[in-house]
Structure 1
């Protein structure tokens, strides 16, 4: 068939004069009856590669796709280009008996050119028998990475496609994916029996996308709100890992005047469709979603994609960020990173088959490496997908945070060696924290128990803090000098490369300012933003600090029990002049606003008037009313003296989450009585000793308390005592 004819058909069916990238070569290869493998980034026009050949040939092309929403989207699109309604159909369990018969009738009559099916539907014996008697033109396997356990969206049912295709009758196969590392690519070809397929691989580079990774602090919601308010009216997607976080963040955005909607698999089908359509029709600016959202969403003008939580793999990250700027315009990709989120993802791997754990861990280490790297992020991503990139002159070379704000590097060879030697000296029995405690000379119970304080390495790293050594350990894991034993909940083991490094140390460069564990709020607007943020008012902050000390003295409590520094920081930025505004400052809440707030709002009001200050009202983050009743349930349950473990279990949350909730309740000014629980852990003298410490201390930092007591109490015990103390004296 002549190339001109293919161009004519493109114009006839889709109205385009030109193909994109290597679409034309792919289409000609499919029409020629050859197996074809297409690796093309999101927005590159993959669907055209099988839609046009299907429309041009006799028979029906079977398109295997993982999502009903995606199939419906494509079918509606194809029907828009044809006068024949039956030109494209979906065959799945949602159809009535009559609808299924109509689909089969259209296929028998040669009307249907594209039949979209989920792999589960294709395995049904009745469908296989029906399709065996039909004229099949070819098979298109969309989202083919689902075949590979090394892919970011592995689906076991995809593994059986080769056998089903053989059962129906082998015809040419075109496999398509937006993300495939060389390893995943080989896995796909092997599993589909298409080793001889011609491979068409487009560049993975999206020059218009800006990549940035920011520390995930306690002020992450405020950072997001500031950014969006600097891009009002523009479309954006924010990805979260849990449905609960999706709901919470969407509500927080809504009460702060942002037109946002949630999207996750827990919503009923009607709500999901309604929210997706509202986003596509620009009735909503922002979608807060789990990874359930996005596959096949063809919205060209998404201007930003944020990751509230780091995803489980770089493939996921690449595919999700790829939904930004598909029209070639601005596309800002910002991920918020804290290593504790990665540790949560590691915990999800417990109990899974060992092979699955190993794959999951390897994928997570790539995510950590990307988040903590100081190299050009575009180069890092492209290298991961097997593509070289010139970070000086390549398209979009300087369009990332590391290139725009290069980080200073230093030689860390000796520090890496010290970490590896410490792990060897402790017979590879510890997780990261005990290793860090040995290095900084922290005599915890565990350290003393194993006599690790007698090692040569004890206190050898005391010139750096614990965060620094944690970072060194992570870098050693990422570069393959250490590995975590998942079966033993993260115990660190030396690899062969690690053992060799001890004998033959090599240069090891680390970046100076990767403080991703910071709990201080970052008061600047996100760097990719364009709006100016409220400036921190140092004069007012000093006045508020003095007032805090004065009020604390009057109430006979430590200053931090009145308002903590992050709250004072925020007051000095947002100038709350009423108790209603004050209670929206993080760490304040209604109880504290009532108890301590009057002199603070009076001081701020006078300061604002005296200095003629315009308040940045729109940057005061309003909190969402807790509709879940969790707060009430916790207060009622603790009043009834239920064990905290039972309260957590009854709500399906972890103990850590429960303790966080109790802390939030107490910090917002409400008393919670957990004395009964603490008394089951500590005796009267111990309780008195810790209470006295918090009463006299200038800081409520748990690490300071831990050091003060020389490891006699663990951090969980001290944390519960801090909650009791705050509840007793501050509320």
Structure 2
């Protein structure tokens, strides 16, 4: 009798199983239902591929990413495994050929997307076949609590009803307890074996940095550490993907965009190039990533905060699947938090789900502001434990300094309270630093006791303080997504002087506005495209309104935009010379220019 080890050694070429692979394989091969949580690169595919070759019939593998099926099938063909796929890339004749192979019991594995699988015609086709097992890959997609919910996955419970005797394995790399519970419930795996194989990826170095000028930070990282390597750069928006890919290409890197707005042929070609060639950087939204089999991705960079720790861990897991050293680098800022909360607020989901999303954003912000080992917090989030600090994250390698921020926090919290708990960070900083702009006088905030009491800190230092107060949950953002801050109950002891507050000291700070004006008297070459675009926008608006350009905005205001890169109304209102009316009349035009160039 052929054993699992025989198949592993002779078909796949590995000497022995890793971790719990053998136990999982034997359970599934024996006809049991199985739930598997295993880190990316841990060998999940073998957990269903080996049983597929041990059990008679064809294994049906449900995969959410059509673009990767060809590569998976090609890899199995090279091993002598009879595999194919059903998806929209096939011609009518090719489709008929695969169906004939299926009916003639000529396949070991068939890959299929959930939306195609659940068509009545295809379910009826499977009823005529001898099925060995169902494998539900990326099973977190079945859960509305998961970070990458796919509606088509909800109907997979039909498989249990129509094929009750066929064993099922559900696999994912990232699922918290709530997500696991829903996977089990929807796929009816209550009576199956559950394997949680640990989440640690010790070869990945986790680093998180405050956004300074994130493009320049990215370029420095690539030049100093990743020359000639393949990697993934994630951006939150399609526009930023396009701009970042173009910007990297102009600097000599082979960078390709990937997002849902691209044509299917371009997406397929770019993904194929990335998977099959060396030294390629794919710049992508989260539409790219699931099921990526490229083993030698040496880095994953997040240019913006992802939506949750689950999403972060899933996306960083694309690095270092070969077990060799890899780096996960994230840039983040308070603007990311506001944007993510706006997106969560605008969701069509119910209020309970929205609150959960807000909590997940807060938890991820807590990871960003952490003083201690990042890996320990990541693993703890998924119910895993690391007894001692990992020694391979930025906080372990260079422990951050902290400072007594009690007085600064009291000033910030008091400012939030005295201004009525109905303003965002930019305006609060203006109050603290004693700004004399139109908005301050409109609300009478120059008469507040907190006006001008925070001049000892630059605007950027105050942004760091507010961001950390959010992370410590001493402040909270409004649920509507407007960026308005309000106090939490936890702020009381700080305001009363009953507790001391230590905050993380950021080693590098952006210059204050006054310092910035000196620094950019001569525009850096790298800044010239944005500088010229801001001036062109001002000229166009000036001609349109029949006024001199300086009436729209002065050079000083444009220079501040160049330094601070405002990407929303709150940030634009923090620029000297931008009041409410100019914000209404011109602000969005300049925000659009900044976003188009994607400088933070």
What TM-score bracket applies, with the shorter chain setting the length?
A: 0.7 to 0.9
CA distance in 2, matches of 1:336, 1:406: 18
2:233 to 238, 244, 248: 238
Aligned twin of 1:475 = 468
Of 373, 387, 412 in structure 1, the residue corresponding to residue 405 of structure 2 is 412
Q: 1:383 to 1:518 in 2, by over 3 A?
A: farther
1:675 corresponds, among 514, 539, 542, to: 542
Provide the aligned C-alpha RMSD in A: 4.1
User: How far apart in 2 are the matches of 1:169 and 1:92?
Assistant: 25
Pair 1:442–1:24, CA change in 2 (3 A): same
Is 2:296 the counterpart of 1:301?
Answer: yes
- 1:51-94 C-alpha deviation (Å, 9 max, x unpaired): 111111122322211011232222222222226xxx32322344
TM-score, normalised on structure 1? 0.69
1:565 matched to 2:562:
no
1:389 to 2:257 alignment: no
2:48 is aligned with 1:181: no
Q: Which has the larger radius of gyration?
A: 1
Matches within 5 A, 1:32-47: 32-47=30-45
SS at match of 1:303: strand
Task: Specify which of 482, 491, 496 is matched with residue 489 of structure 1.
Answer: 482
Q: How does 1:530-545 map to 2 (within 5 A)?
A: none
User: For residues 272 and 500 of structure 1, do their structure 2 counterparts lie closer, same or farther at Cα, with a shift above 3 Å needed?
Assistant: same
How many Å separate the matches in 1 of 2:205 and 2:301?
Answer: 11
Distance (Å, rounded) in 2 between the aligned partners of 1:90 and 1:289: 25
Displacement of 1:170 after TM fit?
A: 5.4
Q: Deviations over 1:514-540 (max 9, x none)?
A: 6666699xxxxxxxxxxxxxxxxxxxx
User: Cα 1:519–1:318, aligned 2, differ >3 Å: closer, same or farther?
Assistant: farther
Does residue 72 of structure 1 match 2:90? Answer: no
2:357 equivalent in structure 1: 360
CA distance, structure 2, for counterparts of residue 588 and residue 76 of structure 1 = 47
8 A contact 1:567–1:588 mirrored in 2:
no
SS at match of 1:47: helix
C-alpha displacement of 1:203: 2.3
Check the 8 A contact 2:256/2:281 in 1, yes or no. Answer: yes
Structure 2 residue runs without a partner (length 5+): 565-570, 592-600
Stretch of structure 1 that moved more, 273-282 or 117-126: 273-282
CA shift, 1:480, in A, is 3.3
- 1:428-447 equivalences in 2 (<5 Å): 428-442=421-435, 445-447=438-440
* Counterpart Cα distance in 1 of 2:108 and 2:199: 30
The change in CA–CA distance for 1:170 and 1:679 in structure 2 (over 3 A counts) is farther
Q: Which residue of 2 aligns with 1:61?
A: 59
Shift of 1:194: 1.8
User: Structure 1 residues 495 and 7 mapped into 2: Cα distance closer, same or farther (>3 Å)?
Assistant: same
Q: Which moved more, 1:263-272 or 1:701-710?
A: 701-710
Structure 1 position 586 matched with structure 2 position 547: no
Question: Displacement, 1:18?
Answer: 0.5
Q: Which runs of 5 or more structure 1 residues have no equivalent in the other structure? A: 521-558, 571-584, 590-660, 724-731
Q: Is it true that 1:321 corresponds to 2:316 in the alignment?
A: yes
**1:621-676 deviation digits (Å, cap 9, x = unpaired):** xxxxxxxxxxxxxxxxxxxxxxxxxxxxxxxxxxxxxxxx6x53255x99834325
- The one-character-per-residue Cα deviations of 1:366-419 (angstroms, maximum 9, x if unpaired) are 332222323222223222222222344xxxx22222222222113434544554
How far does the alpha carbon of each residue in 1:662-721 deviate from its partner, in whole angstroms, 9 at most, with x for none? x53255x998343255669xxx9x977986x969x9999899998988979766789899
CA distance in 1 between partners of 2:239 and 2:533 (Å): 18
Aligned pairs for 1:278-297 within 5 A: 278-297=273-292
2:256–2:270 contact (8 Å) kept in structure 1: yes
Equivalent residues in 2 for 1:332-731, closer than 5 Å: 332-353=327-348, 354-355=350-351, 356-392=353-389, 397-413=390-406, 415-416=408-409, 418-442=411-435, 445-487=438-480, 489-498=482-491, 505-513=498-506, 565-566=519-520, 568=522, 585-588=525-528, 663-665=531-533, 672-677=539-544
Deviation at 1:282, TM superposition (A): 3.0
Q: Are the aligned partners of 1:428 and 1:493 in contact in 2 as well (CA < 8 Å)?
A: yes
Single out whichever of 492-501 and 248-257 deviates more from structure 2: 492-501
* Per-residue CA distance 1:558-615 (angstroms, 9 max, x = gap): x97xxx7358595xxxxxxxxxxxxxx22346xxxxxxxxxxxxxxxxxxxxxxxxxx
Whether contact under 8 Å (1:151, 1:184) holds in the other structure is: yes
8 Å contact kept, 2:572–2:583: no
The 8 Å contact of residues 204 and 328 in structure 2, kept in 1 or not, is answered as: yes
CA deviations over 1:113-159 (Å, ceiling 9, x no partner): 32222111122122222323433332211001112233221112212
Cα distance in 1 between the residues matched to 2:561 and 2:288: 44
CA distance in 2, matches of 1:249, 1:567: 26
Counterpart residue number, 1:27: 25
Alpha-carbon distance change, 379 to 519 in structure 1, aligned in 2, over 3 angstroms: farther
Cα deviation, residue 177, structure 1: 0.5
| Matched residue, 1:312 | 307
2:132–2:166 CA contact under 8 A, matched in 1 = yes
CA offset digits 1:339-364 (Å, max 9, x no partner): 32343333334532253543433333
The 1:351–1:52 alpha-carbon spacing in structure 2 relative to 1, beyond 3 Å, is: same
Matched position secondary structure for 2:189? coil
Of 352-361 and 312-321, the range deviating more from structure 2 = 352-361
Change (3 A) 1:677 1:406: farther
User: Which residue pairs with 1:643 in the alignment?
Assistant: none
Conserved 8 A contact 2:258-2:288: yes
SS in 1 for 2:485: strand
Q: Secondary structure at the match of 1:323?
A: coil
